[in-house]
Structure 1
Amino acid sequence: MTEDRPTPTGPAAPELTIVESRVYRGGNVWSYDPSVHLVVDLGILEQYPTDLLDGFTDQLIELLPGLENHSCSRGVKGGFIQRLREGTWLGHVAEHVALQLQQEAGHDQRRGKTRAAKGHPGRYNVIYGYTDEGVGVAAGELAVRLVNHLVRAEEGFDFDSALEVFLKRAERTAFGPSTAAILEEAVSRDIPFIRLNSASLVQLGQGVHAQRIRATMTSKTGALAVDIAGDKDLTTKLLGSAGLPVPKQATVRGAEDAVAAARRIGFPVVVKPLDGNHGRGVCLNLESDDDVREAYAIAREQSRRGSVIVESFVTGKDYRCLIVGGRMQAIAERVPAHVVGDGEHTVSELVDITNADPRRGVGHEKVLTRIKVDRAAEGLVREQGFAMDQVPPQGTMVKLALTGNMSTGGISVDRTFDAHPDNVEIAEEAARMVGLDVAGIDFICPDIASPVRETGGAICEVNAAPGFRMHTHPTIGEPQFIARPVVDLLFPPGAPSRVPIVAVTGTNGKTTTSRMIAHIMKGVGRKVGMTSTDGIVVDERLVFKADASGPKSARMVLQNPRVDFAVMEVARGGILREGLGYDRNDVAVVTNVAPDHLGLRGIDTVEQLADVKAVIVEAVPRNGFAVLNADDPLVRRMRRRCSGSIIWFTTSEPGSSVRDFVDGHCRRGGRAVVLEPSDKGDMIVIRHGRRAMQLAWTHLLPSTFGGTAMFNVSNAMAAAGAAFAVGTGLHEIRQGLRTFSTSYYLSPGRMNQVNVNNIDVIVDYCHNAPGMKVLGEFVERYAAAKAGSSDLGKISRLGVIATAGDRRDEDMRELGMLAAQHFDVIVVREDERLRGRRRGDTAALVAEGAKNAMAEGARCRQVEIVTDELSAVRHVMARANPGDIVVVCVDQHGVVMNELETMTKQAQPGTHTADSLADPDLDPNVMSAAAQVSGEEATDQDLAEHDAEEPEPVRS
């Protein structure tokens, strides 16, 4: 604290505002776990830490006493209160209030941090964990409002009312007790889950191992069994045919038919809907015709199909037996909703006192349900000799419902270990007869500890999707951990729940590396799901065409039931926007980090960009691997962030400092992929400790263009390291790399080579300066090799180049300068999406950089601007002569490849080139649609949620 701070008078008005909010659904730059990120601006409050705000701390503690449990950075209970009294800034206060608000809603969240935003005095990054993202965001908004209110009271703001609204919202979106119990057990076993809707439909596990639950109904629950359990008449007949004790019953569709059935069965009887649930419409102990007629109307209203059951009334206590996988797991005695007189309060007052129990809520939101007083309850009270405004004697039990359902306000008593073995066997047989994997068997008998065949009793219902809360949270007795056998049913001990995930990132190289890894794993029989900037590919089928390098695409892959291996291309923008979208990856591959997309989303330096890319390295578990480029200093530093093992890959020559570093790693038992030069060429070698295993000659890999494309050599080494990390055999890795080519089928838009009328055309996604540097080096080597084997004389090099409009001006000029070093003629075009620039501005900056390089003696002779992509391609092809090399850096690769194919066919009617693209994807109409997907229309669906950055070249 400085001495020139304001005196404790407080600001004129509160100014804490939320500038930006973001929800991370996986690991992110701030946390390993899902988090809410608020950028808040304190305004004038930057000058007022909490010790200068009179009464602020005391008022805050009075409203949220739970803050006293926050340890904060002190690490002890009450640490945050100490910070408040010593003086801390209000952004930090908002973080803790947001966490405590979630605690009030029953969400146990304690993770959070607040950091000043660099370059923006008074702005802070507030990050805190969440259980439900909607509740988490709402907690942050209410926290900011409360802090402002305590600084200067907001007219009309009542915190208690606002808190009640917040809690009701949390209750609406929260999982019910049954679902929550299963998910808690799944998480304890490291089984991941994905919520599939706003209710209780949840996927447990990933890909081919996935199972689904909806409350206590599972993927293994048969639809036929559910239908049988829903038909109470059929259920009773099936159980009766197996010799199980069931009441006499009849199905009727009219009041008089019900009376007749009751007379045949014999009074007293029960009337209930044929296909009801939760005890709704059930009327018990009916002893006259009039009672049956009245009960019929009630039951008919709750029957979906209009049929009503009349059955004999079995006297005794109400027991629910839970059967999971054919075995009894828990038994609860259900006591109907009631109050017990104290000699002071009326029945109505006793109900209010009972409902004030914090364990009681509306419906199934809490472990107990509030007692509802309706006409039926009032009538039942009168039958017991009381009125609602009458005071019952002390100790007198007054029932408010006949059935013991928890949903009508009943309570439960655990009787799991009291049941007689005969009764357990009967309940298990009933579940098997109906065919349910998870069943609730309702027993009525004098005592579950005595055999019902001797004492009397019967099974009155078999329920599909039975509630768990009477077992997990009994009012009396020990809770039973019944979620365990349910999860055992879905994932037997030792059964996998996760698919291997390989995450690939880097400035350049990630798309091709991802495709190489997917190709290798396809060769060993895996059903690979892959996300990339081109779309989502499942088992070599393009199922979604768009920039799919974001977290939502990752979740789409993990939800696909065919996928048993996932390869995720992870882009910078997706990490910054939503995090990874999953909790961890088994292998992380980082190809390189170079200046690109700087100046966006707060990333201004290449070191900050490296921190973003390192998120996938931090997501590697202790038994996982990070495959890192040892040639890149920024990537080398990421080793300190990895909990698992490191596999280095390097193209450095033996004897270099980088190679010495990698050799030392291997001598200590580590793994690496290196190049061993010889007079026959470069050999890719996998090293594990002191063991060296030769993989392949670089010039024999189709993707390397005879070894001249060093960036693809590096990509192949990264892919080999990743495949080796997941246990793939050496032969399978070698075969995968030998059969992976840069044809349009295997690697669309990445170094696709097409011969158009004897002009060598290479189509690639190169949109940044680092990519242009390695592409230019390839052009030099490729042109030299071609000139040595050609008798056509001088070979010219022509390039069509472009960059995205959201890059910095200096990045655009640098792209042009680098291109001018390697091409004789440059045609500058623009992408369809301008990204905030006016048409022609981006091209002008790129051309300016090329012309500056020409003035300094660069190779380039001429620079032209043709902004439209197809027009630029036609223009450059018109200028090229046979034998020349044309490099087209594309935006819409399908459209460009279709145009090149058309040029070839026009020159040679009825013939096809060796790489002819007779592909339905190249139909002009389809290409037009593809252009839209990668352009404006895609923003409505996926470009808004996926990364907006450009697909990168094969290195990228």
Structure 2
Amino acid sequence: MTDVPATDAVPAASREVVVRESRVYRGPNYWSYEPAVHFVVDIGGLEDTPTDRLPGFTEMLLAALPGLQDHQCSRGRDGGFVERLHEGTWAGHVTEHVALELQRTAGHEITRGKTRSTGERGVYHVIFGYLDETVGTMAGRLAVRLVNALVAESDRTPPPEPDFDFRAEHEAFLRTSQRVAFGPSTQAILDEAIARDIPWQRLNSASLVQLGHGVHQQRIRATMTSQTSSLAVDIASDKELTNRLLAAAGLPVPASDVVRTADDAVRVARRIGYPVVVKPLDGNHGRGVAINLTTPEAVRAAFTVAYDESRRGHVLVESFITGRDYRVLVVGGNMVAIAERVPAHVLGDGTSTVAELVEATNADPRRGVGHEKVLTRIAVDDAAVALVREQGYAMTDVPPRGEMVKLALTGNMSTGGISIDRTFEAHPDNVDIAEEAARVVGLDIAGIDFLCPDITQPVRETGGGICEVNAAPGFRMHSHPTVGEPQYVAKPVVDLLFPPGTPARIPIVAVTGTNGKTTTTRMIGHIFKGMGRKVGMTSTDGVVIDDRLVIRADASGPKSARMVLQNPRVDFAVFEVARGGILREGLGYSRNDVAVVLNVAPDHLGLRGIDTVEQLARVKQVIVEAVPRNGAAVLNADDPLVAGMRRVCAGEVVWFSLDPDNRMISDHCRRGGKAVVLERGELGELVVLVHGRRRMPLAYTHLLPATFNGKARFNVQNAMAAAGAAYCAGAHLHDIRAGLRSFTPSYYQAPGRMNLTEVHGVKVVVDYCHNAPAMVALGDFVDRYFDDVGPIERPQRIGVIATAGDRRDQDMRDLGREAARHFDVMVVREDLRLRGRQPGETAALIVEGAREAQQAGRRLKEIDVVLDEIDATRSAVERANSGDLVVLCVDRARAVWDELQRLGTVAQAGAAADFEEP
């Protein structure tokens, strides 16, 4: 973690850190293999004032966050960061470390971070990892505020926030961190899943989590799972019904009855005999429960409390069983842990009052509010005060040393109780009873509450029984017992959801490049659909699930990828991965089994800090970095920038190339590697899959519909990349052959990608070509298209040309120059969304480039500007004669296609009218 100072000569006046931009990466990204927060900060005048020139800054910072003394930074040893502070480092670098330390104070152990100059004086990229994105982002914002406050104090200048109190802000940060964090039970299951390399996604702001991908997914909410029966949960919530079912199965349960009035409660108590327990029929966490009631008055008072806690107004009165309170956890029908629960209490020390003892007990760092920590703080409410009074004490009294003073009647952890592990002490008969109770109710994960004198003795002999069966039981009393060894109760839960040998991931193929991504993605998806797979696919056209377009939008980003991975039907995923999504959020998933990189060419430069084609290659390289050891990267050997990505691939590299004499490929295959190459066959060019010494013919290029008899060289290349990816993902050669030979560039199978139609004898091609490199490839197709036409016929070539407004001026001129080499007539239009340009500005730049090429003697004869896309389409088709070729570079493919069909219908109607008799 190092920082590099910018060196421009213009100082900034402001001496504070200002956040210009912030992003959250939810997967591998340009800066890190792991999820990260990215701030672009401007430190202004602090560029001239490193930390060694700020009097007292380092001392104040370490006083606020002593844990910074453990940070190693680039020195690789504890205290390295403090050394950097004393030697002098910059405020952006300090912000990075403060954000990491703030997360550590919230229990999130994160050490990943880096600070890099943007090239602009005083402006830095600050990147740091996170476990929870809300906590990570909050830590970054608070870090900036703390640094600014300490700088102002060091300078003795007015702070940016006069009322900033770091201690109070830090406490608020910790409270929010605890609120958004998973509870102990959910976190225990997630930790076990992560240890097994099972991917997970949080589906809401609470505890609903998806484990696994697609068809293999399972869901949990705390300790309820996809396999938890809703009917079983309803039964467990109805305590009277639970008791009847358990009694019918011959299991020991207390006598009980359900009432709706206080008088009925007293009547039932008299019938079953005092003492009794009164509790809400559908309650949980021990709320509204009163035990050991011996008088009608006590029953009436308890009824009121239980009635208020009951959702449906039903209260259960049952006989009171004396003994200790035990919780038996049953997972998948087997006992996995037993804990003795001791009600919230304090032990007298002979000097402190009850209130002081409670305060000291709640100061235990293991105690928090609700379920946020392994223990819950003891609440001193009216019920607790009354219970203390019943034991002969007031809150201000000093109990004798060793005297236990209870503050709750029940042993629930949520009311401040503690737990003692008894897993290996229970009598086998009691274990059998608990397991049978879980089976009777039908719960996959059940908490069986036993009351008995001693769990080591059979309850049928000593007395006692089951007082409750709980759905979604908490794990913290077992995973973090106050006394005894922790039990790894999450393991059997994950075993239940993902038995050994069961997959949790679906294969993921990621495709990126400057041009050809969508076509290649569709080819791969088409191959696996033909194999019977349920393919989830994302592209700039939208999200496709099992060949059905479910979302029509540009879906080449991380959110769309996560949507596919959430779909329970998908068993194979193919993602088009665009530059913008990687820079905005990262990949959105942890890894891809196969990465395909088609090409890297100048496009979208000057956006989000990517100014060179080398930087663009580094962005697209992210999917190669996300390949695991058992995965593969399918790379274009003809593109030097793509070929260089082999160095960051942890898996195997598979090459594809249009050059049959590529020496790198021959050396690679000689060593046992894989490649897809072109060879001259008896009937023409042949796509061949090479694996070591084996050479496996796939198909002649002229037999692949997408290649237009081999003339569309870019689609030959796309088909080779798709073949390599499919082979790495497990497709058989027959399936690859069948998929490529049945993939057609029709509008209905690949809208906007080399769709060929005819309008009154005029050939019309619809394509998304939008940059100069794509125009080079498309122009090559246009030139080859007329290879079979004699020189006398001279058909006309007409192109409708446009690009997006967020390209550089030079890119637009280059597009015009390149188009002028291949078309006789250019109709220049603009997209509906101008992306910050003025109307006519983009078209003027394209025309400027085309004019320069025209003056240099290029093919272009005529240029026209028709800004509206549909009007431009109509103008180009109307200019053409039978046998001519019109190429439409489209933005709204569907609208253009509909217009072409309308023009074709009008032409047919006109032709029919010419032959009608007068």
TM, length-normalised to structure 1: 0.93
User: 1:814 corresponds to which residue?
Assistant: 814
Secondary structure of residue in 1 paired with 2:168: helix
**Alpha carbons 2:14, 2:44 under 8 Å: kept:** no
**Alpha carbons 2:274, 2:319 under 8 Å: kept:** yes
Tell me how far apart the structure 2 counterparts of residues 79 and 475 of structure 1 sit (CA, whole Å). 37
What is the Cα deviation at residue 260 of structure 1?
0.4
**Alpha carbons 1:905, 1:911 under 8 Å: kept:** no
| 2:814 counterpart letter in structure 1 | E
Tell me how far apart the structure 2 counterparts of residues 271 and 810 of structure 1 sit (CA, whole Å). 80
Correspondence 1:567-716 to 2 at 5 A: 567-654=574-661, 659-678=662-681, 680-716=683-719
Alignment partner of 1:341 is 2:348: yes
| 1:806 counterpart letter in structure 2 | D
Tell me how far apart the structure 2 counterparts of residues 230 and 530 of structure 1 sit (CA, whole Å). 42
Query: Identical aligned pairs, as a percentage?
Result: 68
User: 1:523 corresponds to which residue?
Assistant: 530
1:511-552 deviation per Cα after TM superposition (whole angstroms, max 9, x unaligned): 100000000010111100000001000110000000000100
1:114-152 deviation per Cα after TM superposition (whole angstroms, max 9, x unaligned): 11112x011111111011111111101111111111111
Tell me how far apart the structure 1 counterparts of residues 17 and 801 of structure 2 sit (CA, whole Å). 46
What is the Cα deviation at residue 608 of structure 1?
0.5
Secondary structure of residue in 2 paired with 1:418: coil
Among candidates 457, 464, 473, match of residue 471 of structure 2: 464
| 1:690 counterpart letter in structure 2 | R
**Alpha carbons 1:13, 1:152 under 8 Å: kept:** no
Secondary structure of residue in 2 paired with 1:366: coil
Secondary structure of residue in 1 paired with 2:450: strand
User: 1:258 corresponds to which residue?
Assistant: 265
1:45-72 deviation per Cα after TM superposition (whole angstroms, max 9, x unaligned): 1111111111111111111111122111
Among candidates 287, 303, 306, match of residue 299 of structure 1: 306
User: 2:916 corresponds to which residue?
Assistant: none
| 2:826 counterpart letter in structure 1 | I
User: 2:747 corresponds to which residue?
Assistant: 744
Alignment partner of 1:776 is 2:787: no
What is the Cα deviation at residue 660 of structure 1?
1.1
Secondary structure of residue in 2 paired with 1:588: strand
User: 1:851 corresponds to which residue?
Assistant: 851
**What is the RMSD of the two structures over their aligned residues, measured on CA atoms?**
1.6
Tell me how far apart the structure 1 counterparts of residues 37 and 615 of structure 2 sit (CA, whole Å). 20
Tell me how far apart the structure 1 counterparts of residues 909 and 268 of structure 2 sit (CA, whole Å). 87
Alignment partner of 1:758 is 2:761: yes
Tell me how far apart the structure 1 counterparts of residues 776 and 745 of structure 2 sit (CA, whole Å). 19
What is the Cα deviation at residue 678 of structure 1?
3.7
Correspondence 1:110-129 to 2 at 5 A: 110-118=111-119, 120-129=120-129
Seen in structure 2, the aligned counterparts of structure 1 residues 811 and 12 have a Cα distance that, compared at 3 Å, is closer
What is the Cα deviation at residue 696 of structure 1?
0.4
Alignment partner of 1:322 is 2:329: yes
**Alpha carbons 2:110, 2:130 under 8 Å: kept:** yes
Among candidates 723, 729, 732, match of residue 732 of structure 2: 729
User: 2:185 corresponds to which residue?
Assistant: 178
Among candidates 213, 230, 236, match of residue 229 of structure 1: 236
What is the Cα deviation at residue 13 of structure 1?
6.8
Alignment partner of 1:145 is 2:145: yes
Tell me how far apart the structure 2 counterparts of residues 794 and 623 of structure 1 sit (CA, whole Å). 54
| 1:43 counterpart letter in structure 2 | G
**Alpha carbons 1:13, 1:151 under 8 Å: kept:** no
**Alpha carbons 1:665, 1:671 under 8 Å: kept:** yes
What is the Cα deviation at residue 261 of structure 1?
0.1
Comparing 61-70 with 35-44, greater Cα deviation is found at: 61-70
**Alpha carbons 2:762, 2:881 under 8 Å: kept:** yes
| 1:842 counterpart letter in structure 2 | T
What is the Cα deviation at residue 784 of structure 1?
2.0
Alignment partner of 1:94 is 2:95: yes
1:705-733 deviation per Cα after TM superposition (whole angstroms, max 9, x unaligned): 00101100000000000001012110100
Tell me how far apart the structure 1 counterparts of residues 470 and 269 of structure 2 sit (CA, whole Å). 24
Among candidates 207, 210, 213, match of residue 203 of structure 1: 210
| 1:361 counterpart letter in structure 2 | G
Comparing 242-251 with 901-910, greater Cα deviation is found at: 901-910
Secondary structure of residue in 1 paired with 2:787: helix
**Alpha carbons 1:174, 1:365 under 8 Å: kept:** yes
Tell me how far apart the structure 1 counterparts of residues 397 and 681 of structure 2 sit (CA, whole Å). 101
User: 1:937 corresponds to which residue?
Assistant: none
Seen in structure 2, the aligned counterparts of structure 1 residues 13 and 614 have a Cα distance that, compared at 3 Å, is closer
User: 1:886 corresponds to which residue?
Assistant: 886
TM, length-normalised to structure 2: 0.97
Comparing 667-676 with 57-66, greater Cα deviation is found at: 57-66
What is the Cα deviation at residue 680 of structure 1?
2.3
User: 1:51 corresponds to which residue?
Assistant: 52
Tell me how far apart the structure 2 counterparts of residues 705 and 519 of structure 1 sit (CA, whole Å). 18
Alignment partner of 1:831 is 2:831: yes
| 1:899 counterpart letter in structure 2 | E
Tell me how far apart the structure 1 counterparts of residues 173 and 391 of structure 2 sit (CA, whole Å). 41
What is the Cα deviation at residue 679 of structure 1?
5.2
Seen in structure 2, the aligned counterparts of structure 1 residues 851 and 662 have a Cα distance that, compared at 3 Å, is same
| 1:52 counterpart letter in structure 2 | R
Q: Unmatched 5+ residue regions in structure 2? A: 7-11, 154-158, 913-918
**How many residues of Structure 1 are paired with residues of Structure 2 in the alignment?**
898
User: 2:165 corresponds to which residue?
Assistant: 158
Question: 4+ runs of 1 displaced by more than 3 Å?
Answer: 11-14, 909-912
1:262-314 deviation per Cα after TM superposition (whole angstroms, max 9, x unaligned): 00000000000000000000000000010100010010000001010000000
Seen in structure 2, the aligned counterparts of structure 1 residues 520 and 386 have a Cα distance that, compared at 3 Å, is same
What is the Cα deviation at residue 911 of structure 1?
11
| 1:875 counterpart letter in structure 2 | S
| 1:82 counterpart letter in structure 2 | E
**Alpha carbons 1:773, 1:818 under 8 Å: kept:** yes
**Alpha carbons 2:783, 2:822 under 8 Å: kept:** yes
User: 1:940 corresponds to which residue?
Assistant: none
What is the Cα deviation at residue 76 of structure 1?
1.2
Comparing 901-910 with 252-261, greater Cα deviation is found at: 901-910
**Alpha carbons 1:587, 1:722 under 8 Å: kept:** yes
What is the Cα deviation at residue 793 of structure 1?
2.3
Comparing 619-628 with 14-23, greater Cα deviation is found at: 14-23
| 1:176 counterpart letter in structure 2 | G
**Alpha carbons 2:13, 2:44 under 8 Å: kept:** no
User: 1:67 corresponds to which residue?
Assistant: 68
Tell me how far apart the structure 2 counterparts of residues 882 and 12 of structure 1 sit (CA, whole Å). 68
Tell me how far apart the structure 2 counterparts of residues 289 and 148 of structure 1 sit (CA, whole Å). 65
Tell me how far apart the structure 2 counterparts of residues 310 and 460 of structure 1 sit (CA, whole Å). 12
What is the Cα deviation at residue 681 of structure 1?
0.9
Secondary structure of residue in 1 paired with 2:786: helix
Seen in structure 2, the aligned counterparts of structure 1 residues 526 and 69 have a Cα distance that, compared at 3 Å, is same
**Alpha carbons 1:783, 1:885 under 8 Å: kept:** no
Correspondence 1:306-317 to 2 at 5 A: 306-317=313-324
| 1:872 counterpart letter in structure 2 | A
Seen in structure 2, the aligned counterparts of structure 1 residues 911 and 339 have a Cα distance that, compared at 3 Å, is farther
Comparing 583-592 with 793-802, greater Cα deviation is found at: 793-802
What is the Cα deviation at residue 878 of structure 1?
0.9
Tell me how far apart the structure 2 counterparts of residues 188 and 77 of structure 1 sit (CA, whole Å). 28
Secondary structure of residue in 2 paired with 1:371: coil
Alignment partner of 1:18 is 2:19: yes
Tell me how far apart the structure 2 counterparts of residues 310 and 876 of structure 1 sit (CA, whole Å). 85
| 1:275 counterpart letter in structure 2 | D
| 1:662 counterpart letter in structure 2 | I
Tell me how far apart the structure 1 counterparts of residues 15 and 417 of structure 2 sit (CA, whole Å). 48
Seen in structure 2, the aligned counterparts of structure 1 residues 176 and 851 have a Cα distance that, compared at 3 Å, is same
What is the Cα deviation at residue 77 of structure 1?
1.5
Tell me how far apart the structure 2 counterparts of residues 794 and 62 of structure 1 sit (CA, whole Å). 83
**Alpha carbons 2:827, 2:864 under 8 Å: kept:** yes
